[in-house]
Amino acid sequence: MADDDPTADDPTADDPTGSDPIDRPVPGARRASRLALAACLGAGFATLLDQAVVSYTVPSLATELHAPTGAVQWFLAVYSLTFGVGLVPGGRLGDAFGRRGLFVGGLGLFAVGALVAVLAPGIGWAIVGRSVQGFGAGVVSAQVLGVIQDRFRDRERVRALAAYGAAASASAIVGPLAAAGVLAVAPPSTAWRFVLAISLPWVLATGVLALRAVPARERRERRRPVLDLPGIVLTAILVVLVTVPVIDPGVGSGVIAAVVLGLVGTVLALVWWERRAHGPLFAPALVRSGGFVRGNAVAALWFGAGVAQSSVVTVFLLQGFGLTPVVVALVLAPGAAARIVGSWASTRAHARFGARLLPVCLAVQGSGLVALAVAVGALDGVALFATVLGVELVVGASSGVFEPAMRHTTLQHALPGGHGVAASFLQLTQRLAATFCVALVAGVSFAGRTGVTVTPGGMRAALVVCAVLLAGSFAASVVPRGVTRRRRSQQTIEAGDVLPRVARDGLREER
Q: What is the full DSSP assignment across 128-194?
A: HHHHHHHHHHHHHHHHHHHHHHHH--HHHHHHHHHHHHHHHHHHHHHHHHHHHHHHHHS-TTTHHHH
Residue 479's H or E segment, with its range, is: none
Residue 194: predicted pLDDT:
93
- Residue 454, classed as helix, strand or coil, is strand
Asked if 191 contacts 182 with a C-beta cutoff of 8 angstroms, the reply is yes
Q: What is the pLDDT of residues 123-164, one digit of tens each?
A: 999 999 999 999 999 899 888 888 888 888 878 888 888 888
Q: What is the pLDDT of residues 90-107, one digit of tens each?
A: 887 887 788 899 999 999
Amino acid letter at 39? A
**Rounded CA separation 355/409 (Å):** 7
Residue 220 CB-half CA count within 13 A: 1
**Rounded CA separation 133/135 (Å):** 6
Q: Is the pLDDT of residue 19 over 50?
A: no
Residue 206: predicted pLDDT:
92
Q: What is the pLDDT of residues 216-275, one digit of tens each?
A: 765 544 445 566 778 878 887 887 787 777 666 666 677 788 888 998 999 899 888 888
Mean pLDDT, rounded, for 408-435? 79
Contacts with 327 (C-beta within 8 Å, 6 or more apart), sequence order:
180, 317
Q: Is the pLDDT of residue 475 over 90?
A: yes
- Residue 42, classed as helix, strand or coil, is helix
From-to residues of CATH 1.20.1250.20 in the chain = 30-217+281-510
At the topology level, CATH places domain 30-217+281-510 in: Growth Hormone; Chain: A; (1.20.1250)
**Rounded CA separation 226/186 (Å):** 51
Residue 247: predicted pLDDT:
66
Residue 139: predicted pLDDT:
92
Long-range contacts of 12-15 (CB under 8 A, 24+ apart): 12/153, 12/154, 12/412, 13/486, 14/490
Integer-rounded Cα Rg, in Å, for the chain is 22
CB atoms within 10 A of CB 103: 32
- Residue 122, classed as helix, strand or coil, is coil
**Rounded CA separation 78/72 (Å):** 10
Residue 444: predicted pLDDT:
77
Residue 251: predicted pLDDT:
64
Residue 437: predicted pLDDT:
83
Residue 24: predicted pLDDT:
46
For 217, list phi and psi in degrees, rounded to 5: -160, 135
Q: What is the 3-state secondary structure of 266-298?
A: HHHHHHHHHCCCCCCCCCHHHHCCHHHHHHHHH
